[in-house]
Structure 1
């Protein structure tokens, strides 16, 4: 007979085993190092009898015995103390909560028996079953990224049962936590399994709903319902943000139904007498938290109408429950009428730092003084620009400025100044490791290291380079104490005081500019001019189609009209946009002298120097800069502009280094997508515009980048990034009606497709092959295999012929192509025009003639190999022809630089897994000049990798370094289990 022991370890049940007696161990079944523990193989064979498999692992357990060897559990004393127990590492099998419910609810597998820890967990599972069966569960959101979970409802009976389970915890169930305190053991061995097993039981009992129509079930409530009843608990960040408030209020109502809540209030010492703090016990109404009463008045009979009759009983029970999280409460929890807990200052420090968050997280009310958690110290930075101004009133990034610091009591910018004597006194308290101190008659939380840092900053006066002063002022260059306020004069003060944009002088329509700027374009051009006068780089990150080209041309025209230009502007852009810039300059700024530096016959040497000297604008490409970087860097550029500046996002490429090497008095980055994959791309664009301002790429990533990405758009690190880049980035969105009110709406629709049996067969074969090869591959081979497999599966989702590459017929073999034909048929019937984007050029070559034959309308095809003259002719034909038409485009070749507003339908045939790239393509139609609403469809094969990959990406908060070229690069970092789940073919994927 084998005995199966169990301990709850993190988020799993860890099972280990031994023979019933030492003599009964089967040959080859023990580990050798530990004479009684079973191997993982024997354990998994035993567990298979309960229908579970689990994952092999190891446990370090403190077991009865001595250093020479353990004592078999059947021979060990019932209450073995630490002196009679020693650590041993044993094989174990980890079961997920769902597997744990199967194992614990089934009879012991044949030939096995449950040990005391496993029997205790069976009791925990019975409690979870009871909670679910009686409806004592509530939905909630946990973790980052957010996941839906069923949690026990906070009822009094549950508290009593939890206390009983904790008291009955056998030593075997805590063998992995022998040195932990009682609170940790209760939390990890009782509370954690109750939560996770309750969720698993509720999911098992939930009836799986029929697959809803995706277009009608995008509400947060529907997302939560799927996450609570389906196999995937993840909830997208947007839905989670909208759900958290209602879920919290729901839980609060249940928790407070018919009872009062216990509240802990920290009271400061009064006067200059003995420094005695007090944690007072109050009760408050759950229905109206504004109603509250000290527990002292409850005991004295001074009740209130809102108090339930059993308030004393529930308050005492709550106090005992709170003692699990705050052990100091045990000394008063058993008193007849407890009212408060007295503390010395050291105890108050511990309460504020450690136990108040634990109590709050456990659902108890905690009221701290207003200073708690607030930054006590800040610095006021004073920067004197002096009189050193350059041409046009500008300043240089390397100019020196005078800098001094003043310490503030309070880090909100409005704090009271502290002198050096006061800081020195605080420093003495800091030396005694005191974090709660009394300053100017009031208590505050003080970081000892920051006191020393503030003293050092005040003693240090001097000069620093302007770019360093900027970095310190906006928080990029860290100071020992945060800079809460900046006082600066001159142009730098105009920028840092936050009034720069408000003080912009309208440009209007410059003399020589053929056209009228929209109000937001006027503000943008004026801002670019202002930043140039300061000698600072700018990132104009307006949404696609808002006219970044026009705004830059207005600035150049204004400079020429005012005689302020100090040299030519070099504009670097993708080759596909060279013609567009030349035509737009001829249209809006015909007086500008423009030269296109491109092609095999482009001038060089003295000829180029003479030509550049006579030009206002030189247009070239990223490729030319990479090849001719030394020659271009030797010319006197007034300004360097990068259009589609996301081309610089990978800062280590030769192309990016070549562009950054170009010297200029000022720089401008134009981009509609400053961030495509990660914040490192924003750093790269900013580093081009203002070299060194954000520090090195590694420093930026380490300081804020990685943490901000993990926050997924909301959090203090994300706010910090906005503050760091805000003065230098101007971004406006087309959807902002205060910016542009005459642009129609964009409607996003997911179009679900099913695979044909042929597609499903090919898909399954590729998945099976990947699974087999993954088991045999090393790390290097695995990465290539993953990326190759993803590409093959996406090709199958498009069409078997694309995957096979055999030139076979397209008709009737692809669910996606059939659905695409239906969608475009409706578009054509309405007399509209559509854009169809695919990332696969060879697929597009076959798709275009196929659609032409099936739809009976013009179907154009544009790809990377299309000559520029043909490209321009196709765009002209599509824009100006009468009647319906379809334009099939390669995503990479046509994602930028085209104006295709004749289309009011956009279809993404296959997914790029990068929303920024898809949005760029969509904005070929959704831009200024569009007069109709634009419907954007993304085609997704249900139950395949196309449906799962984006969800899997949300789980990967930290992006692999350097994996920014394509979104699919990130897939190489997934675990084998995750990969198999991503590519698994769901039953609903196949039609009929």
Structure 2
């Protein structure tokens, strides 16, 4: 009985525990009621906010979207998430109830097992055992019923959650949300409608303005047409005009352009048929103010040549005045000047002369002949370089379009006897040259180096011979540097074998000029000579004046108007007259200053750019001032900005003015030379050797003592009282500059008598070992890589003959299997040709050392794929010109350019100066070129490197502080 009582006691305890758990679940359910009430309050607040948002009249198109989005999110959280959370809690309660039922069943089974074990140890009453089994069965059935009831409850809850209808709060919030969306759509449609109305109003305003402008233009055209008709009607009533119409039929050939010469004492109308730009104007009667007006285009107008030397006789004017009826309201007559019987004379020109105050006009005219000058003044006006003549807008457009059309050239066929096959850009260049020659204006062919300027010019010469412009007795003169004279001769014989060519050079040239023998100068079509020969024989060549065409190759030689070479070229062109075709060939017309461009145009089209003083004050000085201001550190102000804008405008104006007379194409344009390989430029900075550094410091200090002011403390602005003191200073500065540059190359390249005291006996410096120079050591490293198999060829350029000889010897002593050839101004023409041929054809000849002045022009050395600039030149154009001896059409490999510069010396500071010069030349020529181009170079006769260029001479004007900064040796 004791054991039975304990079992019943355990069962009672378990029932009490179940009752306590049910009470706990009931309390949790009661706690959830306030949370549901709080959720209802949140739904009501969200619905109220939606109502306020919908009722607000000031809502903007973007704000409702933001508010609706937030409110919708809150409603979803309040409704959907709350119901889901309630279902989850109920499911959790049912899971706990099932867990408790499982625990009860396990306990009953445990009790039954313990009862059986007790029975096994001792006898049990049968009734007790039966009661315990029944109790266990009842508890097990009760647990199964609880489990089934829990499962049914869970399913019912899930069904209720799924089928739950929306509550009144959710329905209200949804309706308000749809109302806000509808209001937003209405606002958007209203905004789009307003935008369309605004755009329509703007279009109406523009159409109205365009209509007014069109009506005004139509009225102006009607007035001009009425004026023209009135004038023609008046002319038809004039008996003199009637007679001229009968004889010449001028009404059928009314010229398109009429020039009005206005003054207080005269009014002359000059009409001339023909193509622009060679349009003549009457001047010389009185001081005149010219203006131009456009009448209208007429088909069938005959082209004419240059009219620079045409004179207007007085007899036709007097005869026409006598025939003028006294009652003529316009008091005007029309004159016709018929051509002379000479072959090539210009055709008839027509003049309308007003008779008002004609007697006063004749009194002025009787003092001298009335001449018609060349077209230069009209060209200056058309290109915006002169303000003496006023052009109407229509006339300016006609002139501009006519001049611009010449850049592409007219449809001129290639000469039949030319053996070369021209590329497309070369054909265009020839047609452009032929067009300018036909219209009497000079041309600058400024193509990049290696694009075939020589071939295009030879094509022009062959064309001039075929049309009879050149031949025996009216030669074409080609002036070129001596180093390329033989190249010109070979190219002419190769591409134009019909042209009789003669080299006018050497001791026997005077006899050659007058010789009538076959192949002599007098029977030649083309004469080839050098700038030196032209300068020496200037008087003889000017006296003969048989040249119908003058070509200047490397025309930068005449960039200095004060040089004898420049004066000789311009005097020769002047003696040959305005009918002489003038062509200048140059990789770039600008190297250091814009005034160099003026000097070239004084040869081509004298007077086009005005006087040298006017050009300097109008263009050169303002542009250079802007360039100097831009290069100064800390120069930022409003005035600096205005000056920069002014400089850009002046450069653009100058570029547009010279564009019709200059043609420039660049190799960088892939449409010009697509097969040309790339060019890689490398900058190598090296250090001075220790002994070389000591010598540089001593030489710079000694040179500055001789250059600086007597006090030794020169300020920013050092006074220059006399021309002699400035000349002496310039000579000292330039001498020091060249000494230091040669020293940077190698101490052995500087003559020993230039060394300071205490260094004369230094045998280590006198040694020619490469270790005594950072540049020489770096050059040997480069050559070791370049000359390794497969061996490549290299060009080495330097300005100084001493350095040239040293480098040639260094290469020969360091590379026994390699042959180095020299090319400099001291070689004869035959020796130069032999050196170039040997380098191009001999595999063992892998190195050529050249003088920059003699070898930088006229050579085609495409066998080389490496170019080394051992020292830097003050003229960046010459460096580029030298580089293009290898990088030109015909080159098949990538060209690598090496520039050696010593760190901390004047060479390193020179790089900034060179960059400024290239930027100036590129900006000035940008409107001329159709492509963005880097600056290229000129070259002239070979010189020793001691002749100072303009940019280096400007260093003489540096202050003492600037000179110290230039020549100092950085640590």
Measured against the shorter chain, the TM-score band is: 0.5 to 0.7
1: CA distance between counterparts of 2:516 and 2:381? 39
* Deviation of 1:514 (Å): 1.1
Aligned to 1:512: 417
CA distance in 2, matches of 1:636, 1:465: 21
**Where in structure 2 are the equivalents of 1:524-535 lying within 5 Å?**
524-535=429-440
Closer, same or farther: CA 383–659 of 1 in aligned 2, 3 Å: farther
> What does residue 545 of structure 2 align with?
635
Note if 1:872 corresponds to 2:779.
no
Residue ranges of structure 2 left out of the alignment (5+ in a row): 1-57, 64-223, 225-255, 260-269, 284-288, 295-360, 362-369, 628-643, 711-724, 754-765, 922-946
Tell me what 1:839 maps to.
Answer: 799
Give 2:616's aligned residue: 701
Paired residue for 1:577, among 462, 484, 487?
A: 484
Residue 769 of structure 1 corresponds to 702
Q: How does 1:578-617 map to 2 (within 5 A)?
A: 578-604=485-511, 607-608=514-515, 611-617=520-526
The answer to whether the aligner puts 1:758 opposite 2:691 as a matched pair is: yes
Report what 1:568 is aligned to: 475
Distance 1:399 1:659, change over 3 A: farther
Alpha-carbon contact 1:828-1:884 (below 8 Å) kept: no
Distance 1:873 1:767 in 2: 41
Alignment match, 1:827: 786
RMSD (Å), alpha carbons? 3.5
State how far apart, in whole Å, the 2-side matches of 1:467 and 1:671 are: 23
Change over 3 Å in CA distance of 1:968–1:303 after alignment to 2: farther
3-state SS in 2 of match to 1:706: helix
- Could you tell me how far apart the structure 2 residues matched to 1:608 and 1:583 are? 23
How many Å separate the matches in 2 of 1:953 and 1:899? 25
CA distance in structure 2 between the partners assigned to 1:852 and 1:606 by the alignment: 45
Cα offset for 1:483? Answer: 7.6
The 1:691/1:464 distance shift into structure 2, 3 A limit, reads closer
Paired with 1:818 and 1:878, the residues of 2 have a C-alpha distance of 24
**Residue 850 (1) aligns with residue 810 (2):** yes
Residues 221-242 of structure 1, C-alpha deviation per residue, up to 9 Å, x if partnerless? xxxxxxxxxxxxxxxxxxxxxx
2:555 matched residue in structure 1:
645
Of 728, 738, 743, the match for 2:676:
743
Structure 1 residues 748-796: Cα deviation after superposition (integer angstroms, max 9, x where no partner): 1111111010111011112222343344446444322221221121111
Change over 3 Å in CA distance of 1:506–1:799 after alignment to 2: same
Q: Counterpart of 1:715 in 2: which secondary structure?
A: helix
Distance in structure 2 (CA, Å) of the matches to 1:615 and 1:749: 48
Other-structure match for 1:43: none
From 663, 666, 674, the counterpart of 1:733? 666
On the 8 A contact 2:445/2:584 being kept in 1, the answer is yes
1:404 corresponds, among 274, 291, 294, to 291
Distance 1:623 1:304, change over 3 A: farther
Alignment match, 2:168:
none
Is contact 2:514–2:522 with CA below 8 Å preserved after alignment?
A: no
Secondary structure of the corresponding residue to residue 874 of structure 2: coil
Aligned-pair distance for 1:944? 0.8
* The one of 581, 584, 595 aligned to 1:680: 595
Structure 1 residues 972 and 914, CA gap change in structure 2 (3 angstroms): same
Asked if the contact 1:473/1:483 (under 8 Å) is kept, the reply is no
Distance 1:797 1:768 in 2: 15
Counterpart secondary structure, 2:750: helix
Offset at 1:696? 1.3
* Shift, 1:745, TM fit: 1.4
Higher percent of residues as strand: 1
CA distance in 2, matches of 1:465, 1:702: 25
Give the counterpart of 2:876 among 895, 903, 915: 915
Give the direction of change, closer, same or farther, for the CA distance of 1:783–1:951 in structure 2 (3 Å limit): same
The alignment covers a number of residue pairs equal to 552
- Following superposition, the deviation at residue 563 of structure 1 comes to 4.3
Q: SS state of the match for residue 451, structure 2?
A: coil
TM-score normalised per structure 2: 0.53
Q: In 1, Cα distance between the equivalents of 2:800 and 2:814?
A: 21
Distance verdict in 2 for CA 1:398–1:895, change over 3 Å: farther
Give the drift of 1:480. 8.9
- Whether contact under 8 Å (2:726, 2:956) holds in the other structure is no
Q: Specify whether residues 500 and 958 from structure 1 end up closer, same or farther in structure 2 by C-alpha distance, changes over 3 A only.
A: closer
**Which structure's residues are more often helix, by fraction?**
2
Alpha-carbon distance in structure 1 between the residues aligned to 2:914 and 2:466: 51
Structure 1 or 2, whichever has the larger Rg, is 2
Deviation (angstroms), 1:709 = 3.5
Could you tell me whether the CA contact under 8 Å between 2:257 and 2:272 is conserved in 1? no
Q: Do the aligned residues in 2 keep the contact of 1:577 with 1:897 (CA within 8 Å)?
A: yes
What is the CA distance between 1:735 and its match in structure 2?
1.0
Cα distance in 2, alignment partners of residues 953 and 742 from structure 1: 30
What pairs up with 1:167-182 in 2 under 5 angstroms?
Answer: none
Does residue 939 of structure 2 align to residue 978 of structure 1? no
1:984: Cα distance to partner? 1.4
The match for 1:890 is 851
What SS does the aligned partner of 1:812 have?
A: helix
Distance 1:638 1:383, change over 3 A: farther
| Matched residue, 2:604 | 689
State the alpha-carbon separation in 2 of the partners of residues 304 and 915 from structure 1. 64
Once residues 61 and 749 of structure 2 are traced to their aligned partners in structure 1, the CA distance between those partners, rounded to angstroms, is: 76
Following superposition, the deviation at residue 928 of structure 1 comes to 1.2
- Is the 8 Å Cα contact of residues 798 and 804 (structure 2) preserved in structure 1? yes
Is 2:609 aligned against 1:625?
no
Task: Pick closer, same or farther for the CA change 1:909–1:768 going to 2, 3 Å.
Answer: same
Q: How does 1:68-83 map to 2 (within 5 A)?
A: none
Give the conservation status (yes or no) of the 8 Å contact 1:833–1:905: yes
CA distance in 2, matches of 1:766, 1:484: 64
**Structure-2 change in CA distance of 1:798 and 1:493 (3 Å):** closer
Cα displacement (A) at 1:537: 0.6
Distance 1:394 1:477, change over 3 A: closer
Q: Which residue of structure 2 aligns with residue 668 of structure 1?
A: 583
Question: For structure 1, which segment, 468-477 or 394-403, has the greater mean C-alpha deviation from structure 2 after superposition?
Answer: 394-403
Contact 1:570 1:639 in 2 (8 A): yes
Match of 2:733 in 1: 786
Q: Determine the C-alpha separation between the residues in 1 that align with 2:602 and 2:479.
A: 16
Deviation at 1:885, TM superposition (A): 0.6
| CA gap 1:551/1:574 in 2 versus in 1, 3 angstroms | same
Q: TM-score, normalised by structure 1?
A: 0.52
Task: Give SS of 1:864's match.
Answer: coil
The match for 1:16 is: none
How far off its partner does 1:586 sit?
A: 0.7
Contact 2:383 2:400 in 1 (8 A): no
Q: Is the 8 A contact 1:400 1:465 kept in 2?
A: no
Give the distance between the partners of 2:687 and 2:616, measured in 1 at CA.
Answer: 41
- What SS does the corresponding residue of 1:570 show, helix, strand or coil? strand
Query: What's the offset of the Cα at 1:701?
Result: 1.2
Cα distance in 1 for partners of 2:515, 2:60 equals: 91
Match of 2:510, SS state, is coil
Cα distance in 2 for partners of 1:576, 1:398 equals 41
Question: Could you give the per-residue CA deviations for residues 42-80 of structure 1, whole angstroms, max 9, x where no partner exists?
Answer: xxxxxxxxxxxxxxxxxxxxxxxxxxxxxxxxxxxxxxx
- Choose which of 369, 379, 388 in structure 2 pairs with 1:470: 379
1:652-663 matches, cutoff 5 A:
652-662=562-572, 663=575
3-state SS of 2:459 partner = helix
CA distance in 1, matches of 2:651, 2:810: 47
